[in-house]
Amino acid sequence: MPSHRIERTTEDIRRELTAIFRELKDPRVSGAFLSIVRVEVTNDLSYCTVQVSAIEGIDRAKEAVKGLKSASGFIRRELGHRLRLRHVPELIFNATDSIEYSANISRILSSLDIPADEEEQEDV
């Protein structure tokens, strides 16, 4: 399969997973603000690794991944119906703390007291 087809399928899976996550009724998933950080599909479409992050932190993301793993059969079936794939890949969910990490970097940068350039102040 050409790589552009894999990339297109990966983006389609990511888009549909986002929609399916909103429909899940599991409190571990629906109660968290989840974000899909990365979706990777193998060349033969047999496995799909989904990196999930929660704004509440890594512990909340790990709890949500437990809920996603228990609902993986439903999620695969929904993906198959929505994307009309001949073979729906097996979903592997992993928790990551990338949102929490990014928020921490943002807090650090905003707490820095950087003075404005003197030239910019003269122009104003």
Does residue 121 lie within any of the structural domains? no
Total tally of structural domains belonging to the chain: 1
Give residue for tokens 């968290």: 32
**Structural domain contains residue 36:** yes
Give the C-alpha separation, 30 to 112, whole Å: 35
Domain membership flag for residue 93: yes
Q: Could you tell me the residue range of the domain that residue 72 belongs to?
A: 3-111
pLDDT in tens, 26-74: 888 888 888 899 999 999 989 999 999 988 888 999 999 999 999 999 9
pLDDT in tens, 61-107: 999 999 999 999 999 999 999 998 888 999 999 999 887 777 788 88
CATH number, domain containing residue 83: 3.30.300.20
Q: How far apart are CA 124 and CA 120, in angstroms?
A: 7
**Beta-bridge mates of residue 35:** 53
For every residue of 17-85, DSSP letters joined together read HHHHHHH---HHHHTS-EEEEEEEE-TTSSEEEEEEEETT-HHHHHHHHHHHHHTHHHHHHHHHHHH--
Query: Cα 65 from chain centroid?
Result: 11
